[in-house]
Amino acid sequence: MLTQAKTWTAATPDPGAGPLPRWLAILAAVSLIPLILVLWASPHRLAPVYYSSMLVLGWLLLGQGRWQRLAIRLQRLPGPVSLRFLVLGYGAVVAEEMIVGTTFALAEGAAPQVWLARMGQFIAFNLLAFSGAIWGLGIAYGRWPQLRAHHVWLAGVWGLIAEGVWSITVGNPIAGAIIAGPTIAVYAIILAPAMLSLPAPRGPAAPVWQLPLVWLGMFALSVAPVALLFALRGAVPWAFPSCEYIAC
């Protein structure tokens, strides 16, 4: 996937760029207003709480001028580049799913046993669901390091695909437009720590024609873990979120 032999000199970072650029944070934040109104009377009314939590956390870590400092710290972590990438990729998923589990537990009264159960279920589900994205991006960033400049779109568009936002948009373009910004932002945030742990390349961004190749690779690498996820969900349904939370 990635090798220690590839050493890249960090270019001077663009203060307005990064895994959570200002325009994306503003777009996602503005989208929360109609999202709250749409979901106010639904079982998923706390979804804006989750998105808000992720945006605040993302901006604190990855906002303008801060992601560079985080990248320096992550790149100083010991161990092989590949292992560091995988640990941070899966670790970010675990951290994010703790927020998801807490959000759903709040909707059920926040009893400690419910909270622990929901966190465990969402972590189990998404460790498998995110595997294709983590490994796909790891391979892509190792082969074409300049793809890092397109991280927001590589991670964000994959989020739109994985969350089925494209199908929502076909049936309800307004709903799709509302959910698109927060989805792109959240996926860019989740997959940012692993990306930032890689030595930064110098030079122009990779050509955009490479992006569909990365998405195809992420899809191909998702087939086996998602198939395993469906099999396990059928065999031990109590270990994963109910169909009320994530469609079966």
Please report the pLDDT score of residue 14 as a whole number: 42
Q: Answer yes or no: is pLDDT of 8 > 70.
A: no
Please report the pLDDT score of residue 6 as a whole number: 41
User: In 3D, which of 69, 61, 68 has the Cα closest to residue 16?
Assistant: 68
Residues 6+ apart with CB under 8 A from 33: none
**139, two tokens:** 């391979």
Q: Are 214 and 113 in contact (CB under 8 A)?
A: no
User: In 3D, which of 191, 197, 154, 189 has the Cα closest to residue 58?
Assistant: 189
Burial degree of 202 (CB within 10 A; 0-12, 13-18, 19+): exposed
Q: Answer yes or no: is pLDDT of 66 > 80.
A: yes
Please report the pLDDT score of residue 134 as a whole number: 98
| Residue range 9-47, pLDDT digits in tens | 333 344 346 899 999 999 999 999 998 888 776 666 788
Please report the pLDDT score of residue 108 as a whole number: 79
| Residue range 72-85, pLDDT digits in tens | 999 999 999 999 99
Please report the pLDDT score of residue 43 as a whole number: 63
The overall longest dimension of the chain from CA atoms, in Å, is: 55
Please report the pLDDT score of residue 171 as a whole number: 83
| Residue range 205-241, pLDDT digits in tens | 889 999 999 999 999 999 999 999 999 999 999 999 9
More confident residue, 108 or 138: 138
Among 31-35, 137-141, 201-205, 238-242, whose mean pLDDT is lowest? 201-205
**37, two tokens:** 């109104």
**42, two tokens:** 């639904």
User: In 3D, which of 83, 82, 90 has the Cα closest to residue 130?
Assistant: 90
In this prediction, residues 149-156 reach a mean pLDDT of 95
Amino acid (1-letter code) at residue 33? I
- Eight-class DSSP state of 171: H
Q: Answer yes or no: is pLDDT of 172 > 90.
A: no
In this prediction, residues 179-184 reach a mean pLDDT of 95
pLDDT band at 52 (very low <50, low <70, confident <90, very high): very high
pTM above 0.85, yes or no: yes
Please report the pLDDT score of residue 3 as a whole number: 44
